[in-house]
Amino acid sequence: MARSSKASEIPSLDAHPALAEAASKLFYRAATEADPSEFLHQVLPALSQALGGEYLAIAKGEKGQWRTLGSSGPQRALPVEFLAEALDQDQPIVRGDWYVAPLAPQSASGELLVAYRTWTNTVERGGALETLAQWLHLGLSEVRARQSDRQQIARLQAILEIAAQWQQTHEMQPLLEQMAKAATRLLAAERASIFLWDRASHALVGRPALGVEGNELRIADDAGIVGQVVQTGEPRRVDADVATEQREIDRRVDRELKFQTRSLLCVPLRGRKGELFGAFELINKIGGNFTDDDEAALTELAGHAAIALENTQQVEQLIASRKQIADQAAEGVQLIGQCPAIEALRSTIRRVADTELAVLVLGQNGTGKEVVAQMIHYHSRRRDEPFVAVNCAALTETLLESELFGHEKGAFTDARETRVGKFELAASGTLFLDEIGDMSLGGQAKLLRVLEEKIVVRVGGSASIPTNTRVIAATNQNLAELVRNRKFREDLYFRLNVVTLELPPLRDRGEDVIALAEHFLKTFAAQARRKTPKFTAAAKKRLLSHDWPGNVRELRNLMERLAYLAPEDQERLDAPDLAFILSPATPAAGAMSMDLALAEATEQFQTEYIKQHIQRVRGNMTAAAERLGLHRSNLYRKMRQLGMDTGER
């Protein structure tokens, strides 16, 4: 079948409303989703329904085998005789009720759109489906890129924490065990071992080796996959579903360990001068085979492991590596804006960052409280140490104690192993306690004891562990009111509230809305690989008039959607372009009646206007008077004239 002349054209969706709606859902999910499987699970049923089909799937060929990445409708056996042909010819094939097309021309991914009776009388049989394949390819590419970015950031943060723990351990056996546990957790594997090369005896010594006496395994330095890595200095992977690779596994080791190896990833360990002295091995990827990303992450982790293993002189390189990662993280933390409140906040952050003063960050949800905490951390001498965040609202009292202070093995039913708490993970660094107002009274008492004594005791343990962690707390609640209502401990309140930093809501930050919008749009446009569009004056006015109930978080999400959904050739964003993401301003409660006389309407407006200013400054009458351009005494006089409650008794 020749490629349709409409392959590069998008069919007119005006005549196909169902297809238009499905396409809208596809691109919305592509702009917001970070899981390819979930993306296909959401969009394939909608596309199949729009095309009136029975079965729609994305198939992928790997090493002669075919599998579905996602499908809609009753499961059917794939028409394997057509799949390879469509890839080889790099064009769609129609045979009977089946339609098979590459997701993208000259694609090396081996992915195909497979449809069974998936067309209607109103949608042509070739062009629409071929265009649909291209849409799915674009959507999957964006989702996978976002997934890769998030995984990379998470892994960098995890490696920073892991490296910090390794620096504190100078005994070989505990260090090797920490390395194995960290690698299995980070890369979702069942087991891990570090093999050190004993050149004199032509042997590899692997530890930890579960099931072997002494927790140590000795094998010839040319045996199995690990032997190949040590001899060649190149990484190796073994997939669970490739018979030729499976035959390379040394099954004698499996029998000795009483374990079955299905998949394997192994990378070399090299010293700072490049000399090869061992290998780092992971066994059995949970949920499939090891990937290129896993190999890259293990290679980076192996670099840190090699530094820790060589000798104590290598600690300097470990510190330098941690500093570089901390610098990269610090560069991504910015407090955008020039309004007086933000400028004052920056000034205060610079003054308190390198002190040991307790800081309480206040502000509505989405205003950027964690960004402020990170700025304090990265402007302090603790910047090269871990920054650990805990959401207190998401944890029960029992879980909170284990999360913060750690627990010993067997401390309670599910405590199958010793766990280090967040205070220990953030050792010499910063612990950010978000939503502190939601912590239970019992949890508050335990936290206060740790803050006062600088000592942590794990759940089920008795050893006192000194902690030098700096605590920064944050909340969107009125802690003083909670104290009055006996829902928050007064002594903990005063312990945390040495310095208070309050973030204003976005609607009170004036032109900062434009600066933030342009910053986020530039960032997401770069991720979307497109030129950054500019806002027209009308668009800026529309952004400034919006109330932003979700604050900076809402603005960030909206700019992300614009970067991905606006046409690529659009260079300017006008007010109508924002209409589909910004709802009209909601009328204020108790909107003014048009039946009032002018004097009565003026009085009502003044009353509501004063109330709103007082609410925004949380009842601080001096601040409210300043915002209104009045002296405090004049404000009280005006309120009495309007019959308002001044709170005076």
Rounded alpha-carbon distances, angstroms, from residue 309 to 167, 217, 231, 407, 425: 10, 18, 20, 27, 21
Q: What CATH number does domain 332-502 carry, 3.40.50.300, 3.40.50.1980, 3.30.300.30, 3.50.50.60?
A: 3.40.50.300
CATH number of 587-649: 1.10.10.60
- For 412-441, how does the pLDDT look when each residue is reduced to its tens digit (9 = 90+)? 877 788 888 899 888 889 999 999 998 888
Domain ranges (residues) in the chain: 17-147, 169-326, 332-502, 506-578, 587-649
The whole-number pLDDT of residue 14 equals 54
| 623 vs 627: CA distance, rounded Å | 6
Class of domain 506-578: mainly alpha
Quick check: helix, strand or coil at residue 310?
Answer: helix
Q: Do domains 17-147 and 169-326 have the same CATH topology?
A: yes
Question: What's the pLDDT at 586?
Answer: 42
Q: Which pTM value belongs to this model?
A: 0.46
In CATH, which superfamily holds the domain spanning 17-147?
A: GAF domain (3.30.450.40)
493: left (phi over 0), alpha (psi -120 to 50) or beta: alpha
Taking each helix axis from N to C end, the angle separating 512-527 and 537-545, rounded to the nearest 10 degrees, works out to: 110
Tokens representing 353 are 């960052």
Total residue count of the chain as it appears in this document:
649
CATH topology for the 169-326 domain: Beta-Lactamase (3.30.450)
How confident is the model over 128-140, as pLDDT tens digits?
677 778 888 888 8
Low-confidence residues in the chain, pLDDT < 50: 1-11, 120-125, 311-319, 584-590, 649
Residues 20, 25, 30: CA angle, nearest 5 degrees: 125
| Closest of 583, 602, 584, 582 to residue 592, by C-alpha | 602
Q: How confident is the model at residue 103, as a pLDDT?
A: 84
